[in-house]
Amino acid sequence: MRDGQSALVLFSGGQDSATCLAWALAHYRRVETVGFEYGQRHAVELECRQRLREETRQRFPQWAARLGDDHLLDLRALGQLSETAMTRDMAIDTDAKGLPNTFVPGRNLVFFTYAAALGWRRGIRHLVAGVCETDYSGYPDCRDDTVKAMQVALNLGMDERFVLHTPLMWLDKAATWVLAEQLGGDALVELIVEHSHTCYLGERGQRHDWGYGCGHCPACVLRAEGWRRYRIGQ
């Protein structure tokens, strides 16, 4: 039986997916998470996602009973196919089209497919992802049109009625911080600052107002600027 009261969150351990986890916990009676190991350069995010789950249970007792199983899927073949700054020790740059070389071709398409396959087995039809096309790096697989097309393809290919939710699609990074505050107050904002990971280089040694990171990769720049605008707006 498909369960309309359960959701599966594509959970990387970053700011966006942590906010989406809180969103799902506020909207569904049962929430599971799925992460992906694909040879990412910032593999420290795999440790951060577990800490986020543990801290969420401890700090938000109203959500603790709703947070269900976690799944970690091995997709290292994706990293083997990718010659990108996300999967190799190389400088971050952009190509002639302006697309960053941190773009891993097919990554989100594969993530959605595997999440749907897991959801099919677990009886979960609501899939939640933190992709957006407002403050982002220009990745084509984060666009709303891509997600809508994937939903159609997954439903046709699996003869199911999956719903792909993207709560952050039209939010910039400042608005994403605002959403976190609305969902869980200062406690959730502090949890995301301290325990989520965004930096492409996997840097956890340097602590900024907005969290840990190198401070100069595209992901850190977006997060820092969003935090600055969020604090100004408070």
Domain containing residue 139: CATH number: 3.40.50.620
Token couple for 157: 């290919």
Q: What is the pLDDT of residue 61?
A: 96
Token couple for 177: 């911080």
What CA–CA distance (Å, rounded) separates 110 from 112?
A: 5
Q: What is the pLDDT of residue 1?
A: 36
What CA–CA distance (Å, rounded) separates 117 from 110?
A: 11
173 residue type, one letter: K
Q: How many domains does the chain have?
A: 1
Q: What is the pLDDT of residue 98?
A: 72
User: Residue 132 — pLDDT band, cuts 50, 70, 90?
Assistant: very high
Q: Give tens-digit pLDDT for 62-94.
A: 999 999 999 999 998 877 877 776 676 767 777
Range of weakest confidence among 35-44, 79-88, 168-177, 200-209:
79-88
Residues of the domain holding 21: 3-233
Is the confidence at residue 51, as pLDDT, over 50?
A: yes
More confident residue, 137 or 12: 12
Reported as half-sphere exposure (CB side, CA atoms, 13 A), residue 195 has a value of 22
Q: Give tens-digit pLDDT for 25-47.
A: 999 999 999 999 988 877 899 99
Instruction: Specify whether the backbone of 21 is left (phi greater than 0), alpha (psi in -120 to 50) or beta.
Output: alpha
pTM for the whole thing? 0.92
Output Rg (C-alpha) for the chain, integer angstroms.
Answer: 17
